[in-house]
Homo-oligomer: A and B are copies of this chain.
Amino acid sequence: MVPRPCSVQAALAVIGEKWSLLAVRELAFGVHRFDSIVRNTGAPRDILTNRLRRLESAGVVEKRQYSEHPPRFEYHLTEAGSELRPVLLSLGQWGDRWAVDVPTVRFEHTCGEALELVHTCKACGGEVTGRDLKAEQLTSDWTSAA
């Protein structure tokens, strides 16, 4: 029996390791230097080194040299990395509501207001609460063992 082929699992294979998403969060927050990411996440240095390498080879992060002697690098989100922001936002909102007493981060939208994220269906425009949806496996050669 083979596990369910799934884009959630594929995404987690890229950003699901411990510290990876926190590193992405820092980059999204505009923190680009190794030492700062270490301090702000609390990640061990060697692990962070490893994570940044993996994120880089997965195309989520890119290294930019800002000094030659000695060689020094900044880390930036690629387009793929940038598109993780909705993931961070929904995760943060869930955390605010269910895993934390007092909100610790305020996201501000360009409209000037505090961002409260609403997930809507592109087709009908209606809000997606999560309760009102079904999942259907597209890969025909896979059968769930329910």
Complex interface: chain B residues within 8 A of A66 (CB): none
Complex interface: chain B residues within 8 A of A138 (CB): 102-106
Q: How many angstroms from the CA of A128 to the CA of B90 in the assembled complex? A: 12
Given the contacts A94-B87, A116-B121, A121-B109, A11 and B99 also touching, CB distance less than 8 Å: yes
Q: Does A47 contact B (CB under 8 A)?
A: no
Q: Does A110 contact B (CB under 8 A)?
A: yes
Given the contacts A1-B39, A103-B7, A134 and B120 also touching, CB distance less than 8 Å: no
Chain B, residue nearest A139 (CB): B104
Residues of A within 8 A of B (CB): 1-14, 16-18, 21-22, 25-26, 28-31, 33, 35-36, 39-42, 58-60, 80, 82-100, 102-111, 113-124, 126, 128-139, 144-146
